[in-house]
Amino acid sequence: MKTHVAIVGAGPAGLLLGHLLRAEGIECVVVERQTGDYVLGRIRAGVLEAITVNLMERLGLDARLKAEGLVEEGFNLADGERLIRIDVANLTGQTVTVYGQTEVTRDLMDAAPERGLPVLYGAGDVALHEIESDAPYLTFTHEGRQERLDARFIVGCDGFHGPSRKAIPARVAREYERVYPFGWLGILADVPPCNHELIYANHERGFALASMRSHVRSRYYVDVPLTEKIEDWSDERIWDELAIRLGPDAAAQMTRGPSIEKSIAPLRSYVFEPMRHGSLLLCGDAAHIVPPTGAKGLNLAASDVHYAAQALTGFFKAGDADAIAGYAAKALARVWKSERFSWSLTKLMHRFPDDGPFERAMQVAELDYIATSRAAQTSIAENYVGLPV
Ligand code: RFL
Ligand code: PHB
């Protein structure tokens, strides 16, 4: 098989890139290890920045997003005593949209056949070859056959554990990492949300987040030590903990119900450089991870894909090799700013086991500053809606 661009991974980054390239008439093939159902079973992001919404709109794949997505004009930080509302719409003139990653992925997946985007699900042993040449290729197994896919470029959209990043030689690689001493225990339930806007809470018992997927489906999180086992958290125990950490007002509005999904996700900040080496470009979680505080991961994957599609379009349509050479620097400039925001909001809203009274006093002071300063609220709001692309 031969194509222009071989894309590894059919998560949101891979599918979005595939559609953007097809819209420009550039041939590409997406190779995914899992089945489509498995990919859709992963419950992850819920909050979309304008960049992600705009890309779906540009592709003409935003009908369901527009009909079912909830436009959010603000969100809240709870500090145990009060709710500090960040009036995002007023402070920035922009909004975010609550629409699950699962639904974005489903919309992209459903449109693939009609847009001529081949997606090979269930591909085994995907390996990258000759990425330092102009003729890289993938090998993999698919439907019992050994396959080879030749391309001009490979784009690694295969998440944190995929093979693409590992294909970049150690002599050129640099890694930056912070692992946090807790994970987020998430619960998804078909109950109305306790509040029409998200609440991030810093309580003495730990972090909590009230989020949603729709008017009738809620998503909540509490932070837990990494040693916790999901089996030890009955639905009732999670609801009890949420009621305490979110505070009495939210608790009074909280409807409990059986969980549809329940899992613990570790928190990590990670950046890999370079995001391009030879004929291989990396996009999304393949190159970087943010802790979920601030909801940046999927949106960062979308902005990478936007830059990558621009670079590849410049190359194939205008013969512009500089566009490819400039990809990594453009993408990384935005990545680092999102890393900073996610890290600082994580530090502000969680109780770290090693923190003493000084660190706690810093959190109290910062929350008080945010509560009373329009400048501080504007800074948070402009990061939350997404920095310019
Ligand atoms: P994905 O979604 O991990 O997709 C990668 C795909 O590559 C496939 N793959 C392979 N394919 C072929 N061969 C191999 N050897 C392969 N190895 C892997 C995988 O099967 C998969 O289909 O990466 P992508 O596309 O870069 O997308 C990134 C986002 O998924 C991620 O950043 C977000 O989910 C992060 N995130 C959030 N982001 C937001 O913007 N807003 C949020 O509200 C938000 N909440 C979250 C989150 C992530 C969470 N978890 C579980 C990590 C909440 C949570 C709990
Ligand atoms: C979610 O709804 O899953 C969600 C919302 C906001 C975050 C992280 C996750 O910061």
Residues 166 and 32 in one domain: yes
Amino acid found at 148:
R
pTM score: 0.97
Residues 322 and 374 in one domain: no
Residues 357 and 338 in one domain: no
Residues 115 and 216 in one domain: no
Residues 217 and 358 in one domain: yes
3-state secondary structure of 276: strand
Q: Judge whether residue 112 has pLDDT over 90.
A: yes
Amino acid found at 104:
V
Residues 285 and 357 in one domain: no
Residues 202 and 138 in one domain: no
CA separation for the pair 200, 332 (Å, rounded): 27
Rg (CA), the chain: 21
Ligand nearest to the CA of 341: 2
Angle ∠(319,324,326) on CA atoms, nearest 5: 125
Taking alpha carbons only, the member of 194, 186, 189, 250 closest to residue 221 is 186
Of 198, 242, 261, the residue with max ligand 2 atoms within 8 A of its CB, to mutate for a pocket test, comes to 198
> Which of the four pLDDT bands, split at 50, 70 and 90, describes residue 45?
confident
Query: E-strand spans in 20-136?
Result: 28-31, 47-48, 70-72, 75-78, 83-86, 96-98, 119-120, 124-129
Helix (H) or strand (E) holding 169: none
Ligand nearest to the CA of 98: 2
Residues 104 and 220 in one domain: no
Q: Would you say the CB of residue 76 lies under 6 angstroms from ligand 1? A: no
Which residue range forms the structural domain that includes residue 357? Answer: 181-267+346-385
Q: Would you say the CB of residue 48 lies under 6 angstroms from ligand 2? A: no
169 CA from centroid of ligand 2 (Å): 34
| pLDDT tens track for 200-233 | 999 999 999 999 999 999 999 999 999 999 999 9
CA separation for the pair 348, 198 (Å, rounded): 16
CA separation for the pair 100, 207 (Å, rounded): 22
Predicted pLDDT of residue 44: 86
47 CA from centroid of ligand 2 (Å): 6
> Which of the four pLDDT bands, split at 50, 70 and 90, describes residue 169?
very high
- 60 conformational bin, left if phi > 0, alpha if psi -120 to 50, beta if neither: left
Residues 250 and 285 in one domain: no
Q: Would you say the CB of residue 162 lies under 6 angstroms from ligand 1? A: yes
Amino acid found at 128:
L
23 CA from centroid of ligand 2 (Å): 30
Mean pLDDT of the region 352-367: 97
Predicted pLDDT of residue 301: 98
Taking alpha carbons only, the member of 1, 7, 42 closest to residue 143 is 1
Mean pLDDT of the region 142-160: 98
Query: Into how many domains does the chain fold?
Result: 2
375-381: which pairs have CB atoms within 8 A and are 24 or more residues apart? 377/86, 377/87, 377/91, 378/91, 378/92, 380/86, 380/345, 381/86, 381/87, 381/88, 381/91, 381/92
Nearest CA to ligand 2 atom 6: 295
284 CA from centroid of ligand 2 (Å): 17
Question: CATH number, domain at 22?
Answer: 3.50.50.60
